[in-house]
Amino acid sequence: MEIRNSDRPRGPVVIDIENITKDYIMGEEVVRALRGVTLQIRRNEYIAIMGPSGSGKSTLMNMLGCLDTPTSGRYEFNGKNVAEMDDDELAAVRNREIGFVFQTFNLLPRSTSLRNVELPLIYAGIDPERREARAAQVLADVGLGDRIHHKPNELSGGQRQRVAIARALVNGPSIILADEPTGNLDSKTGEEIMELLENLYQSGNTIILVTHERDIAAHARRTVHLRDGLIESDHAGFVPELDLPVAG
């Protein structure tokens, strides 16, 4: 297997996680979803986070996406301590610094592509004219310039995911967090979406890909394997043999 890029990117650190844990209380039982994860992600990295279900992959993604705060440990996002932020401060970080791409697209079904892409700009308080111009621009960038007034049910799966990617990009975030972005797409459309992500990476974006599919993870330049709430391996490029025992 070809290792496409062995050079670690040397940009400034965007995400700095040290020894974070997350415990959930499920009835009487305490589930230790993360048991001490340390991870640094620099600007313009393309990193895949892999692991079977129950490995803590989703929990880590929620932490990285500032949707949740850790039970213990240090988390700095662009030098700001995120671990102790309250709900509204986290919302502001999510709005400006993180672009989410979901497996199920999560578009508002009754709103046009344009309105969907405008949403983060609304929450950022941008005035309507600038908002619309910016949203239309980003939609054109992902190749949907002629679909801005279509509603999600008038778009194909791949087009919907493009709208979602445009929505993630619109506020100029520090990272793009893609959770199984091809999970609901056929393989050909999936490849197109991965191509789009590759282009975004090439043009300087930082991409964090959460997936359990090896050929999707293979697009990344760095792969982190999680197992039982701990990082099992952290490699430049894609290391398939390490993935074998845990896959499936």
What are the start-end ranges of the H helices in 56-202?
Answer: 57-64, 87-97, 113-124, 128-141, 157-169, 187-202
d(CA 238, CA 218): 5
> 127 vs 146, which CB is nearer to other proteins?
127
Q: Is 31 in the site for other proteins (CB under 8 A)?
A: no
Contacting residue, 2, 87, 146, 241, with other proteins by CB under 8 A? 87
Helix (H, G, I), strand (E, B) or coil at 13: strand
Q: Is 77 in the site for other proteins (CB under 8 A)?
A: no
Helix (H, G, I), strand (E, B) or coil at 36: strand
In the complex, minimum distance from the CB of residue 24 to other proteins, in angstroms, rounded to a whole number: 10
Size of the site for other proteins (CB under 8 A): 26
> 60 vs 218, which CB is nearer to other proteins?
60
Cβ within 8 Å of residue 185, ≥6 positions away: 157, 158, 161, 193
Contacting residue, 32, 35, 42, 96, with other proteins by CB under 8 A? 96
Q: Is 56 in the site for other proteins (CB under 8 A)?
A: no
> 93 vs 218, which CB is nearer to other proteins?
93
> 208 vs 218, which CB is nearer to other proteins?
208
Contacting residue, 34, 37, 46, 62, with other proteins by CB under 8 A? 62
Contacting residue, 14, 34, 73, 94, with other proteins by CB under 8 A? 94
Q: Give first-to-last CA distance, the chain, whole Å.
A: 20
Longest dimension (CA), the chain: 54
> 62 vs 174, which CB is nearer to other proteins?
62
Q: Is 190 in the site for other proteins (CB under 8 A)?
A: no
Q: Are 106 and 181 in contact (CB under 8 A)?
A: no
d(CA 244, CA 194): 22
Q: Which of residues 119-158 bind other proteins (CB under 8 A)?
A: 119-120, 122-125, 127
Q: Is 3 in the site for other proteins (CB under 8 A)?
A: no
* H and E: helices and strands count for the chain: 8, 10
d(CA 244, CA 227): 13
* Residues lying near other proteins in the complex (CB under 8 A): 62, 65, 67-68, 87-88, 91-92, 94-96, 100, 102, 106, 108, 110-111, 119-120, 122-125, 127, 167, 171
